[in-house]
Chain A
């Protein structure tokens, strides 16, 4: 059953560009990028209960890091560029995570919100490097001998990276580390009493979350092809939070589904213009009221399992 679902999913993902019109290939790339961010954010919020409204900032750092590296050092292979984008962002995540250890709930949300604004200001003020307000055009990258010039080639790159990161996230969450993080979410005191190092794990969650978002940023730069501080406003951060709420906190599959739902929704609401925030907000409120555990838990409940007690 599980293997069949996985195989089916793989066929759909691999066959997607050949079955759908070109625009949906681009859209699927955006979904996969957002899914990576959502998984990263979920590792932080869903697993350790640290809410972040600053992930657009991490995405910006990853995107600019990858774009600048592609421009300044075009000979660096693409996988290394993406890795570097992730590592640079992870370093910033570490720098933000340590002081944030003292903050909880609303205060943490405010600090991360401020972080998002600081990143945008930094991009504006480092204009000798980032071209500030004017925006940065990202040249088409190459993967070894292949130029990634089409939506389809970039799609395959994005879904490959997303698949790797999903597997990695599964490994993290089902390991000792994942259980420690979950214990933290349920009760920090109880977790500490059982020997979980609070500071170390909370910081680790920040670093891993930033790494994921940084890699996603690198892919974002490649797929969109143009970066500007306007790309990374606070509403983008809110979208990421919406993805994990709709998808389901603490669920990797939920993150992917949340990303798919919010991205598709944003895309289809683009035509509703000024009503867009209203419709979007209503959908969010409704999903919180009627589906508090997100899509993941709704599916879980709808699906009877062998061995379930009646």
Chain B
């Protein structure tokens, strides 16, 4: 390929078809929305800690405003933060580079995917400005509330479309379309455009994980698109798909939602595991332990992920026999993930461990994700879940999985590949400060919630004033501590932004391969030019040949060197 003609400003920086720019666009958008979503959380946590407080910008929260913040916090974090950063941003950057390709298989489609994504983000913002404000239905958008909130059955469909709930559904649908199209690029590039000599098992783990995540996404999103269209039609065309009075069934929506909703969490987990799988070998100078089995386990977990969904519905009134089935599959899925985690940990043994910044975040991921993962096994058992469902125990569980995934693993990847993407190193000291404040914030926020949750503190309640047991001093303390933790997490990210700005102005120049890694992206310049490689690299071995005795004089053996 590559007629690297002079590009205009618009075609180079705005309507770029270069995968690296598209990656930057996705990542920047994701980070901006992560901040917005995070601030929503700080706002509603302030209400929980100090009921009736006048929250800056938002004002005093009533039940509806509180629900709006909770709903959109979750929606934003999943679809406009986690997905663009961990899947679209990461995948667009690393996949062509690690495969030795000059760009994605379909660069124009790639650009289109980003613009559809940006439109979806704008529709989301619009939803906050519609009459009645943003959707206040919970991110799960269960009918009948989600089918009727803000809707006037006697108005025409345009009026009902211009409501928070309807626009949110539209925004999510557009986001899905964008990710589906982007995913096609990932799969075709990974199959078709690998470097000469790169066999499937020579492909780095993170690329495998990104593709498995894409496949999981592709297979599971269809039923939710169908279900969401039906929900939207219930709102704007007054159909009765989920209205029992008209023969519909609300639990149908729940199933359609969670059929996607559960694989979605593995869609974000798999890339996170992939990032950590690249970083740990690099900073222990050892091959990734059992790398082939890690891939096999990841493939099997991607499949099992499709048959665990109703563990979100244990108390919704589903058939208890199905609850049995889903409990079993949910507990089984912990096995491949446990294997992967232990294999990554095994890589440390006997290694020459270097705690550089990406490694610190990777270790943080491993340690904190364990808490989330283990508590997931508790919740997978229907009996326990009957007690813990809708309490803060669940909130603590999923923040101990999602914050390690998005922040710890995501930031590990960011710090790791930032030198390649920009040609500059990030400051180690600021990075360490960023890490420790985020880690403290996470544990202050989420750990106490296990206890208040087990005691009975329920979710999605804006004030516990009418529940005396939940106004006990120790629980109020927990709410305060958790809120301070959330504020610390948000504030810690300011250190990150400072680090980026300082690095951009004056950062130490990174060479081609500052971390001395084997994979092909480190062969290109930092930053790589349009077209990535001056000559397309060939691949002679797997990606984890660190400290190989056959390679004299060096503790790493790049894939492209003979």
Q: Do A and B come from one complex?
A: no
Interface residues of A (CB under 8 A from B): none
